[in-house]
Structure 1
């Protein structure tokens, strides 16, 4: 048993690493399953596979910019098992994680004896992707080390009481099953299709994720970025996660800066779309050294349209330069080979410039000859048209000039449609229990199903839907507001035939509403929430309103005293809640608005406060 009396689901310790990973990290393992390979030759075979994996990475994603860590492998030996293992921190770029899955799948196609598994801080995320179609016995509590990639296919280690018990497997146990009990390894094409759905856009997605933008930066920085373009990720992250200490550094005078705003040039810089969005979206006041330069550019932008483009490039370049400035000041404390290389290059360049001057830096003609020297990609993908977004959620695409276009790219459209369809399928899952997706309990037998579960199955055939008009009517009934004030256009619509069959009649709906009201009253009364202060001004005001609304029979008044108390208290609470909003949006205003009522501001109290002040 684990600490606190919880069952120890991970007896294998480090072998069940997925649930022990930090956030935004993915870990992957490659093992060779071949009984013909002797143990002493296994290490050399693993080293061969490692070199093969790095060659594949450089061939498919050599120009890709990794958010934090790149795909990497090292030979590991633990608990008598030899395998390849790697960990990548992908930060905010989920595309890095799926690129790794793509590389692993392609790598397993090269050797029939190669098996790979991948997991992140959420666990077996490939099975999470296919949660709607995985076998019912495969719950998150027992799926550890059960999903493997072999020859490009997703394989699952099934459950067997003797060889594969219903609990998460350790890495050693999983490898033993793959080697000695292959009959327990199954391939489900439907699960594979769902799990690998995002891989359909690869390898094209590697190129699509790149964004080129022309920015205005110091010539010295442009030269260093050309030498080490992958450092852009570390610089953007340094800017994105800046702190007061780094901001104080940026406010230094130009003489103490590595990249002062001098000898500025406009060059095309390669980003990923995630990095560019992080840089572009930040609100950032110009540091002291850049203030005058930005002010001059703003003055020109008011006079010419082209100057606005130049100002935008200068502001983006100022942010990027600030990120590199922060990175250069903290390079020695970074545990990154790329950052250390950048610091060495910067130090050598500054030494050479002291001896030979700025003549060693590239000229404008040289920079134009660089690959993608003047490329400036469209930034419209940063803009979100919420009308198009709503149409995408509805499964539609808007027509613009006869061409079909929608929210984002075709890939984003397909992903969004799949998310919406999965969500709708989950909400309308008739077999789902109180915890959502139905999962068999590992200790539950078929004969232990209760009668209550059977009855739930018979009555739980109502799709998820929200009838706003009916909800408003229910709220009026619970608050004691007469249904006679409801206009005809707000009347509830007819229920669908499916709901009518399961509910029975409208009378049953009324009984359910009354029962719900009684339960709410009992709950509120138990906490003393229905104790009414009849002497309060709000109650007196409501009493006068009730008297002016019309005459009622004395008998009906005496029989409804208790109900009136509840109405007074609810109205009082709503009024006080609405008043506390001070004219802003809030729960009370939202509820009243849904019922078609708009309360005015308390002008008298406002005027009284003004006179008092």
Structure 2
């Protein structure tokens, strides 16, 4: 389905959003045009612009992409999917965000998308990441029993700012979306689930200011100017130097683009996540380059070291951009004016041909040429996603800024050094145990009263152990949600499992076959048979009572006979038995294995069988 386009394994730290305006599931797929989707995108961008204007993204910017039926057909070919049908190719607006180490970007986008669904009537959104339905994972503690990973897979939607889970066994995407729109009250999750999600995003938009950090760095003049001109380059520079390997760092030996000879002190704005990455990066520059560092106890040491790391990151970015530019010029000189990777295009063309896109049209025919032009046009426009042109576009922008550096700008940068504002404290990097405990408590909902009362956990464990378990595990009565009463309309003939009845039946069966119990032959056999007044007339019950009576008489007769025969020889029997036990010396032996107990048990056993008092043994 369109909402599950990624048939391939989803990359780690990637958020995908699928936005379905009302016309996407009220019209046919062929009626939805790219222009209609772009009009909606323009509205969305105007709404989110105030929030993202000064926002510093960790890796990708928020970008809305239209996906028509034709575009989805090409995507299915690119992804190698053979299950694309007219019903699965439902047009929508797509968002792909790589947030890498900063999960704050993911939840910020969730906040923006939920706000959009509140504003636009009929807008339905679906959001997934590498963990799957991460919204339900966030609300796992308050989900109803029926909300399992299997039942909720590809069934979680956002509409009017609320989470909905479709339990209907619909298979067609357009039917699912219409069900959510028309029967919202049925599929809407409980208030507890909604409150959990809202609590998670309630920190926005204020959190966008709290996540910022202003640090001081001793940078080459060109690097300082570029960061002032394009503040978002700091994210690419820090991530590049943090993820680089020794082979990539070779370009930092010469520092061709950002030489260390002329440096200035500058304030650099970044996120706390980026600052933590930069601080904990062990790379300190190549010692042959000429970086000079003050002593480690100097107050300027951190600024000098941070400047080296940022400058090296920019150096690798610019060197990479120049290399891509050189390769593009080489392809253009060979006659490829579009600068398209011919090898990648050939592979794409072959997949199109194998999928039947050209409908076995004759080579050189007008219809096939039109399809070929559409395919190449789409390939070129979407090359950014297919062949990582995002980095290439960023590289072009980087080169443009670098070439735009003028001498008067350098002088202006030097004059502003005297007016630097104080840097922010980085004490938040150090977390003591008490702060960690408070953070964990806030994150996982552990209240202060529960942490002060250690018996609370013990009581919960005891309650858990004493609770009877169903076939799917223990379920506390207090944890059941109102949504537990929801039943799938198609689950007719469902088998109900009663654990109490099952337990009673099992005990009745075991009582019939386990011998040796205390009082096994005492009284009536009603207890072991689990019978009641209604079963007294049963044939089995009559037979068992008769058998019980006969056994009682036989035991009494045998006991009287044995008492008459063995009373005179009781001392001799006792001596023989005690002698055997002493010879075995507590180890395994015939008598010990038979009796399975000490002398006291022997006395008790003989006293019951023979009803003859025994003399106390000195041993």
Q: Deviations over 1:483-513 (max 9, x none)?
A: xxxxxxxxxxxxxxxxxxxxxxxxxxxxxxx
Tell whether the 8 Å contact from 2:221 to 2:413 is kept in structure 1 after alignment: no
- State how far apart, in whole Å, the 1-side matches of 2:202 and 2:211 are: 15
- State how far apart, in whole Å, the 2-side matches of 1:98 and 1:14 are: 20
Q: Deviations over 1:510-544 (max 9, x none)?
A: xxxxxxxxxxxxxxxxxxxxxxxxxxxxxxxxxxx
- State how far apart, in whole Å, the 2-side matches of 1:62 and 1:556 are: 93
Cα gap change, 1:282 to 1:365, in 2 (>3 Å): closer
Correspondence 1:132 to 2:133? no
- State how far apart, in whole Å, the 2-side matches of 1:387 and 1:199 are: 25
Given candidates 425, 432, 437, the residue that maps to 1:378 is: 425
1:33 Cα offset (Å): 2.4
Cα gap change, 1:181 to 1:389, in 2 (>3 Å): closer
- State how far apart, in whole Å, the 2-side matches of 1:19 and 1:197 are: 32
Tell whether the 8 Å contact from 2:225 to 2:409 is kept in structure 1 after alignment: no
Q: Secondary structure at the match of 1:175?
A: helix
Correspondence list, 1:506-521, <5 A: none
1:89 Cα offset (Å): 0.9
Cα gap change, 1:328 to 1:16, in 2 (>3 Å): closer
Correspondence list, 1:97-116, <5 A: 97-116=106-125
Q: 1:241 — aligned with what? A: 243
Tell whether the 8 Å contact from 1:236 to 1:275 is kept in structure 2 after alignment: yes
Q: Deviations over 1:306-340 (max 9, x none)?
A: xx221111011111111111222223556326622
Q: Secondary structure at the match of 1:26?
A: strand
Q: 2:280 — aligned with what? A: 281
Q: 2:345 — aligned with what? A: none
Q: 2:56 — aligned with what? A: 65
- State how far apart, in whole Å, the 2-side matches of 1:220 and 1:191 are: 51
Q: 1:193 — aligned with what? A: 195
Tell whether the 8 Å contact from 1:32 to 1:114 is kept in structure 2 after alignment: yes
Q: 1:21 — aligned with what? A: 10
- State how far apart, in whole Å, the 2-side matches of 1:109 and 1:132 are: 25
Q: Secondary structure at the match of 1:109?
A: helix
Q: 2:254 — aligned with what? A: 253
TM-score (norm 1): 0.58
Q: Secondary structure at the match of 1:30?
A: strand
Correspondence 1:343 to 2:398? yes
Q: Deviations over 1:276-299 (max 9, x none)?
A: 1111112224312455512xx12x
- State how far apart, in whole Å, the 2-side matches of 1:14 and 1:114 are: 14
Q: Secondary structure at the match of 1:374?
A: coil
1:176 Cα offset (Å): 3.6
1:446 Cα offset (Å): 4.1
Q: Secondary structure at the match of 1:148?
A: strand
Q: Secondary structure at the match of 1:280?
A: helix
- State how far apart, in whole Å, the 1-side matches of 2:50 and 2:198 are: 21
Correspondence 1:46 to 2:37? yes
Structure 2 residue ranges without an equivalent (≥5): 70-85, 325-387, 508-580, 590-619
1:26 Cα offset (Å): 0.8
Given candidates 78, 93, 118, the residue that maps to 2:102 is: 93
Cα gap change, 1:361 to 1:132, in 2 (>3 Å): same
Cα gap change, 1:375 to 1:288, in 2 (>3 Å): same
- State how far apart, in whole Å, the 2-side matches of 1:377 and 1:109 are: 37
TM-score (norm 2): 0.58
Tell whether the 8 Å contact from 1:217 to 1:318 is kept in structure 2 after alignment: yes
Correspondence 1:81 to 2:90? yes
- State how far apart, in whole Å, the 2-side matches of 1:27 and 1:261 are: 41
1:387 Cα offset (Å): 4.4
- State how far apart, in whole Å, the 2-side matches of 1:212 and 1:229 are: 12
* Aligned-pair Cα RMSD in Å: 4.0
Q: 1:606 — aligned with what? A: none
Correspondence 1:203 to 2:201? no
- State how far apart, in whole Å, the 1-side matches of 2:216 and 2:584 are: 77
For the pair shown, the structure with the greater C-alpha radius of gyration is 2
User: Would you say how many aligned residue pairs link Structure 1 and Structure 2?
Assistant: 408
Q: Deviations over 1:568-611 (max 9, x none)?
A: xxxxxxxxxxxxxxxxxxxxxxxxxxxxxxxxxxxxxxxxxxxx
Tell whether the 8 Å contact from 1:145 to 1:170 is kept in structure 2 after alignment: no
Structure ranking higher on relative contact order (CA contacts 8 Å, 6+ apart): 2
Q: 1:534 — aligned with what? A: none
